[in-house]
Structure 1
Amino acid sequence: MENENQEEIGVSVTESDGHTFVLKQVRDSYDFTHIIRKELGRGGQGMVCLTEDKNFVVKFALDSKGNIIGKEKDADSFKRNDAAFKAIALKPFPDRLHLARPVARLADYSGYVMRLMGDMTSFSELVPIDNEDIKRMASDGGHRRRFLLLSKLAGLLAKLHGAGMVYCDISANNVFVTKSAESETQNVWLIDADNVFIPGEDLDKLVFTPRYAAPELIGKPPKPCSHASDCYSFAVLAFESLAALHPFKGNKAEGEDSGDDWDASVQGNDGTKSSFSEPDAFPEYSGKIPWVEDTEDDSNHTENGLPRQNFLTDETFRLFNATFSEEGRKSPKMRPTAVLWARAFSHSYAKSVRCPDCGMSFVFDEAQNCCPWCEKKLPPLLTLSLHDEVVFAHEASFKKDCEGEWISLPEFLFEPFSVDTCFRPLIKLRTVEKSGRALEFVSSLESGGEHLFFISTEKGEEKIGARYTLFLQGGTYELRYENRQTGIQRTFSLSVKESFE
């Protein structure tokens, strides 16, 4: 008797002649067989499926009706797509870019096999759409984790844009992230490399998901995808994942039926995906109404979604407003770049605090004395300030004979921002309480010998070596950073505040 708990394999698919069946395995161009486990995500262009090997996923191209494209039954479409998949390998992608590219084409269906880091999931899992999703934020990493992932996604886009490429179809289904919120390493990957094009070469390229599309892509006549349209789509995804609300789904748009088809990709100018609903029927996607936090026009304002003050900083609000304001909607060149988004969300991540009572996280504000989610008293906090402004905050825990978790201080706190190395830890510290309350520092081996740290105590300035313990006497300490190669120096005020009245 088969094990009733055995995981089912295969996905239900329909061919162009209407024949529906469960597809359990496929062959690739190297005659290797891939066992299909389940569907991971689907859009207008294709369907991505998990295989028995967690390091590989399979993308099936779909026709305009959502059917798979067979080599025999749809010969012309199969040949056209197969040639396009071959061409992906010729594109000059940057090295070490987290973009899942074809490693083999499918033999019998239009599609390809992609390598993806194991144990990843679609970013759509982190876009809250109902109260149950919002409740899960306390256990899925909350806003702190989203800040980190969004910064890394923006950095990934910045690398792609720096190579002169456009992704085209930024959406929650096309972004994959580390599945576990507890994993020390949080990775971000883009899938669907066939979305990528080079401006000036693929002049007719127009692929987008209407829910995330920039206004110019759904205008009349539509304009091709661009770096600016990528950044607009990123901003929609970012706001929606943080606010549990589409940035244009306010009072003015309320009551309009946006329809499920607006989550599916649309591909135009090639004859295969050229029809979709009129944008004017969906005002929140048309670019013709103000966004929910517009500073010039509050007609679309709403209190729905999560409280903006819990996750927006002045920096991120400026970027959202520059993107979604009337000027940003009508003038793509006025929108913030991917690098600016990456830097802004790295700053939000650095100042995010997790409440030990409710599990939610928020951006620390010096005027706060309680968690904005549950109103419980703030936990002890470790803070770093530069020029009298808090640039880093993290909850700290002192328990007798126990050591706290290691807290990494990333490179962007000390060096000019770089999307390649911004999250590299230069030094780590943790709270300890044995013969007294203390902070234990460990220099990161990744940082190399050119990064030096010094701490000022009653004995004067002391160099922090491979391991250093600072016994806390209360008050504030000076933490000085020096780059021996470039001469960069920064002096921070370090403090551990235990009481908030």
Structure 2
Amino acid sequence: MTEQNKRVVDKFGNVYELGKELGRGGQGAVYAVKNGNFAVKILDNCSPTRRQALRQQLASVRMLYDIEKLFVARPREMLKAPYVGYVMELLTDMVPISKLINVPKNTNCLVEWYLQGGGLRRRLLLLARCAESLAQLHGKGLVYSDPSPNNIFISNDVNNNDIIRFIDADNLQYASSSSSINVYTPEFGAPELVMEKSGVNTLTDAHAFAVIAFKALALVHPLMGDMVNDGEPELETEALQGRLPWIDDPENDKNSTIQGFSRDIVLSPNLKILSEKSFGIGLNQPSKRPGVGKWVETLYSAADCTIHCPECNSTYYINQKNCPWCDYPRPTFVRVAIQRWEMLQGLSKNPKTLQILALNSYEPLILTNRIIKGRTGIDSHNPNIELVLEGETIKVRSLNGQCFWLTSEGTQIEKEVQDKWVCFPAKIGRDGSWLLHFNNLDCSHRLASFNLFPGENV
């Protein structure tokens, strides 16, 4: 369908006027519906067999009682002939995540364009949400089949890090029945799909997502180095089949490139390791490829370790002494370490750090169930605690009605933390260091410790 303003009709006779094409994947295209919170997907295959298969598929998807919580756009009705497709619900003002990947041709400053899309932290959080949704689908025995930047939608509001939708519900397949399905979007298909050695499964989903994440962060395809971009078209096919080294291969740089952002700026150390596993040994050995669950953990952890720049309003990793986007010195921040308190022994002398977060004076830090309880999934984003840094003082309060506890290691002071602000020093002083307990002291739980790092301009 190439014409604008075309109309389609669903099986109940409702007419939908189509607007612009929102995205195109391996099976068809999705169009916006004018004057409504809907979108329409029209498949390329218009055969009666495909229509019947789609009808059965959508009926199965509708039976997922928690489909909204899985961030999949709910399918409504099938289209009437001559089209094969369906109408789906879609929140207003949503755009494909490709808007954060495909750089417009008239872009004068790549850094400015990157930051206008919300910068590093927003990309990390949106990607973490996407991976989390895929992991939940995989946990139900489903595979998405064709993850691509055109069928993952995000809010057009650059201040929104939360809302994502997978728009192609017809892509959902049960893993046990996916061996014969070989659909993918060019550049995002796993080598075993491209070479027709496998059908779709959770690990082909993982490869597609890994490519999306790498491109969204670094603005370069992990398999498309200078050798491919400057060579014959056949080299691109070889790269996508996994027959060439990836662009950051530490042992073979023949396909390396200077394109995209420095990985030291946009990838945390653990994201670098995950990328190496995905596009190195995992490229042609799916069993050694990291699953999307590992991406959830690593992307959230990377976002936790970003800090706000007061000069250019960007975000960057706390291991950088200066903002990599504008070179402004890193401001004062508190390193918040999440550790484990055991009921009988308390905090050990060398406690294992479970997570690290950054708190600075330019924005509050909200601790959710993901931090407090170590959860991922549907309820992991419920807010529990708010922390604010003012000078060298930390303010804390409860957001969920629960009582938390502050203790000092030096003087054994205990303070209740409820809905009113409680203050304590960020610096280690005469009371020793302070610990924020996420449960009563007479049971095992997680806690937070605090370490103040003065700004680089001090």
Q: Which residue does 2:31 correspond to in 1?
A: 49
Q: Which residue does 1:493 correspond to in 2?
A: 449
Written as runs of structure 1 = structure 2, the 5 A alignment for 1:309-320 is 309-320=264-275
1:460 aligns with 2:435: no
Q: Which residue does 1:336 correspond to in 2?
A: 290
Q: Which residue does 1:407 correspond to in 2?
A: 365
Q: Contact (CA 8 Å) 1:143, 1:362: kept in 2 or not? A: yes
Aligned mate of 2:327, from 365, 372, 375:
375
Tell which deviates more after alignment, 422-431 or 142-151.
422-431
Mark the CA change 1:162 to 1:491 in structure 2 (over 3 Å): closer, same or farther: closer
Q: Which residue does 2:59 correspond to in 1?
A: 89
1:201 aligns with 2:174: no
Mark the CA change 1:208 to 1:39 in structure 2 (over 3 Å): closer, same or farther: same
Q: Contact (CA 8 Å) 1:93, 1:163: kept in 2 or not? A: no
Q: Contact (CA 8 Å) 2:224, 2:239: kept in 1 or not? A: yes
What are the superposed Cα offsets for residues 169-217 of structure 1, whole Å, 9 maximum, x if unpaired? 111001011221223x621111111112123324311110121111101
Q: Contact (CA 8 Å) 1:425, 1:444: kept in 2 or not? A: yes
Q: Which residue does 1:419 correspond to in 2?
A: 377
What are the superposed Cα offsets for residues 68-110 of structure 1, whole Å, 9 maximum, x if unpaired? x5xxxxxxx1563254234322246462221123211112422
Distance in 2, Cα, partners of 1:440 & 1:485: 21
Query: Aligned Cα RMSD in Å?
Result: 2.8
* 1:249 Cα deviation from its structure 2 partner: 1.7
Q: Which residue does 2:207 correspond to in 1?
A: 232
Amino acid in structure 2 at the alignment position of 1:379: P
Distance in 2, Cα, partners of 1:360 & 1:340: 26
Amino acid in structure 2 at the alignment position of 1:167: Y
1:393 aligns with 2:349: no
Aligned mate of 1:166, from 134, 139, 143:
143
Mark the CA change 1:37 to 1:479 in structure 2 (over 3 Å): closer, same or farther: farther
Aligned mate of 2:123, from 146, 169, 175:
146
SS at 1:200 equivalent: helix
Q: Contact (CA 8 Å) 2:5, 2:19: kept in 1 or not? A: no
Q: Contact (CA 8 Å) 2:10, 2:78: kept in 1 or not? A: yes
Q: Contact (CA 8 Å) 1:37, 1:49: kept in 2 or not? A: yes
Amino acid in structure 2 at the alignment position of 1:116: L
Q: Contact (CA 8 Å) 2:394, 2:426: kept in 1 or not? A: no
1:308 aligns with 2:263: yes
What are the superposed Cα offsets for residues 263-288 of structure 1, whole Å, 9 maximum, x if unpaired? xxxxxxxxxxxxxxxx7553332211
SS at 1:49 equivalent: strand
1:113 aligns with 2:71: no
Runs of 4+ in structure 1 over 6 Å off: none
Aligned mate of 2:246, from 291, 299, 308:
291
Distance in 2, Cα, partners of 1:28 & 1:439: 57
Mark the CA change 1:156 to 1:440 in structure 2 (over 3 Å): closer, same or farther: same
Distance in 2, Cα, partners of 1:257 & 1:119: 40
SS at 1:419 equivalent: coil
Q: Contact (CA 8 Å) 2:145, 2:201: kept in 1 or not? A: yes
SS at 2:187 equivalent: helix
SS at 1:210 equivalent: coil
* 1:474 Cα deviation from its structure 2 partner: 4.1
Mark the CA change 1:288 to 1:412 in structure 2 (over 3 Å): closer, same or farther: same
Written as runs of structure 1 = structure 2, the 5 A alignment for 1:25-64 is 25-63=7-45
TM-score under structure 1 length normalisation: 0.79
Q: Which residue does 2:343 correspond to in 1?
A: none
* 1:343 Cα deviation from its structure 2 partner: 0.6
Give the length in aligned residue pairs.
433
Distance in 1, Cα, partners of 2:21 & 2:114: 24
What are the superposed Cα offsets for residues 5-46 of structure 1, whole Å, 9 maximum, x if unpaired? xxxxxxxx35xxxxxx44443222222222323221123421
* 1:256 Cα deviation from its structure 2 partner: 3.2
Q: Which residue does 1:181 correspond to in 2?
A: 158
Q: Contact (CA 8 Å) 1:382, 1:396: kept in 2 or not? A: no
Distance in 2, Cα, partners of 1:351 & 1:226: 32
Amino acid in structure 1 at the alignment position of 2:435: L
1:356 aligns with 2:310: yes
SS at 1:81 equivalent: helix
Amino acid in structure 2 at the alignment position of 1:127: I
1:428 aligns with 2:389: no
Q: Which residue does 1:215 correspond to in 2?
A: 191
What are the superposed Cα offsets for residues 287-325 of structure 1, whole Å, 9 maximum, x if unpaired? 111111222322222222101111222322221111111
Q: Contact (CA 8 Å) 2:406, 2:417: kept in 1 or not? A: yes
* 1:345 Cα deviation from its structure 2 partner: 0.5
Amino acid in structure 2 at the alignment position of 1:461: E
Q: Contact (CA 8 Å) 1:432, 1:440: kept in 2 or not? A: yes
Q: Contact (CA 8 Å) 1:429, 1:441: kept in 2 or not? A: yes
Q: Contact (CA 8 Å) 1:94, 1:159: kept in 2 or not? A: no
* 1:146 Cα deviation from its structure 2 partner: 0.9
Structure 1 segments unaligned to the other structure (5+ residues)? 1-12, 15-20, 64-68, 70-76, 259-278, 398-404
Mark the CA change 1:42 to 1:298 in structure 2 (over 3 Å): closer, same or farther: same
